[in-house]
Structure 1
Amino acid sequence: MPAAAHSLAGSTTLAQLCDLQAFTERWGAVPSELLRNQAPGLVPTGRAVLSPQGPGCLLGPPSYHKVPVLSVLTAMFLHSSWTHLLGNMLFLAIFGNNIEDRMGRLRFLLFYLVCGYVAGYGFALTASSSTQPLIGASGAIAGVLGAYLVIFPRARVWGLIPVLFFLPLRVPAWLMLGMWFVLQAFYSTGYGTAQAASVAYAAHVIGFVVGALLGLGFRRTRRVRSDW
């Protein structure tokens, strides 16, 4: 779950922003709620309000019952933008089918959910006081990448490699995914990117490590044919 929620449409009115905040508060995973296993007493109602301090979103008691542990699951099906969604689906399409073939459909589904949940709760431990809803499936997708790295390390995949400028090259999976992991780990420290506050890079790192550890149980000693 990689990203803080924001508008899919770009420029929005205050009323639309308040409605979006109410939606993501209800269905997103909030770190402080996860660790306390307690829903908030006040949430955005979706209504804009003018006050002496300026315009804002009206808070009030929730009209619904939120179960924090289930919010990790619902958050996996929400994304902050079309780019966010399509990027995750591209990684899943490229790497997920080989992992599903190796694990089987049911075990792959369980694997995917376990990676997403551990990434979500793991990130909550790194931001225990955060009340910002997190959405997205990137923690689970990172788990798929981690499993691919240990199961198909020599499979050749297409990647954009920075050589003077970005070149599309077929490289071993260990190189591409290893570089990806190193970048996510670096960004999780807060350096190297202006978006560190809005992207949960630590969830990517945790999901990747969990996926790699679980993927070790599905390795085979015989040489594996690469489909990519």
Structure 2
Amino acid sequence: MLIPVYDKNPGPRTPVVTYALMALCGVVFLISPFSGLNLVYGTGHDLLCAQAEYLARWGVIPTELWHGRIPLAEVPMPTGCPSLRSFAAPPFGSVLTALFVHGGWVHLLGNMLFLWVFGDNVENRMGRVRFLLFYLAAGYLATYGYALGHASSTQTLVGASGAISGVLGAYLCLYPKARVTSVFPFLFFLPLRFPAWMVLIFWFVLQWLAGAIQQTGPGVAYLAHITGFVFGFLCAWVCYRATPKLEPAARATRGDLQP
């Protein structure tokens, strides 16, 4: 219903980590069976089976995070597809791999758009190393939060949206008055500019309402979005809310700006 496309909030440094995360997600997607560009996975039913196996191997199976690894034969696969042959990582490690796996072009581009709009400023405020650790922590916490609410689910969970939701929560705390240009599909993609607090709170309420009415089974992991967002907001509030934002001249004096 609302798609942020640009924020008027320039930062003092190139957001290297944000761009690197976007690039890594893009590369992983291009070589996956979901891009449609890697012909090694075949077509038709063979491609469908390859996609299901790819998700199961590199994604998160929520029940495994609390109850341990389930037998390969119990991993759901489409009719006519062979059973999964192996797992790529133990349950805890699968959370990390799942953060870089996406199940389609819309899934990938939607996540990367949100990361591009909001990630640079949060990275500049936190610093590159701390931002990377924050991003991964948000992704892990969001995934475990989803698994806690769906402890018996064997439906594979993939995507960076939990971690990116943490970035959105941090942005709301740190830059609530920044101007964000957004488009509304139901208004023929008319671009309008709103303060960040309005855009992000509206987004969060939509996630909350959608999660409240969502039934179990395949779909969007709204609970992961909610968990990541709340974590990101609280983390920024505790760690950075009281830290004064330096003006460019002050940053240069302290040597915080790149040449």
TM-score range, shorter chain: 0.7 to 0.9
Instruction: Say if 2:20 is the partner of 1:20.
Output: no
Secondary structure class of the residue paired with 2:137: helix
Pairwise CA distance, 1:197: 3.8
Aligned pair count reads 209
Q: Deviations over 1:124-175 (max 9, x none)?
A: 0111111111110000000000000011111111123589765321111000
The runs of 5 or more residues in structure 1 that have no matched partner are 1-5, 49-54
Which of the pair is proportionally richer in strand? 1
CA distance in 2, matches of 1:135, 1:198: 11
The more displaced of 203-212 and 15-24 is 15-24
Q: Which residue number in structure 1 is paired with residue 196 of structure 2?
A: 173
Secondary structure class of the residue paired with 2:165: helix
Instruction: Say if 2:222 is the partner of 1:198.
Output: no
Residues 1-228 of structure 1 mapped to structure 2, 5 A cutoff: 8-9=35-36, 13-42=44-73, 55-59=79-83, 62-64=85-87, 66-160=89-183, 167-190=190-213, 197-216=218-237, 217-220=239-242, 222=244
Pairwise CA distance, 1:221: 6.5
Q: Percent identity?
A: 50
Structure 1 residues 196, 141: CA separation in 2 closer, same or farther (over 3 Å shift)?
farther
Structure 1 residues 87, 65: CA separation in 2 closer, same or farther (over 3 Å shift)?
closer
Pairwise CA distance, 1:65: 5.9
Secondary structure class of the residue paired with 1:170: strand
The more displaced of 204-213 and 62-71 is 62-71
What is the TM-score normalised by the length of structure 2?
Answer: 0.72
Q: Deviations over 1:81-123 (max 9, x none)?
A: 1111111111111111100000000000000001000000100
Which of the pair is proportionally richer in helix? 2
Pairwise CA distance, 1:63: 3.6
CA distance in 1, matches of 2:243, 2:199: 22
CA distance in 1, matches of 2:212, 2:198: 22
Q: Deviations over 1:48-91 (max 9, x none)?
A: 8xxxxxx522226x345630001010001000111111111111
Structure 1 residues 131, 143: CA separation in 2 closer, same or farther (over 3 Å shift)?
same
CA distance in 1, matches of 2:47, 2:194: 44
CA distance in 2, matches of 1:196, 1:173: 32
Secondary structure class of the residue paired with 1:56: coil
Q: Which residue number in structure 1 is paired with residue 257 of structure 2?
A: none
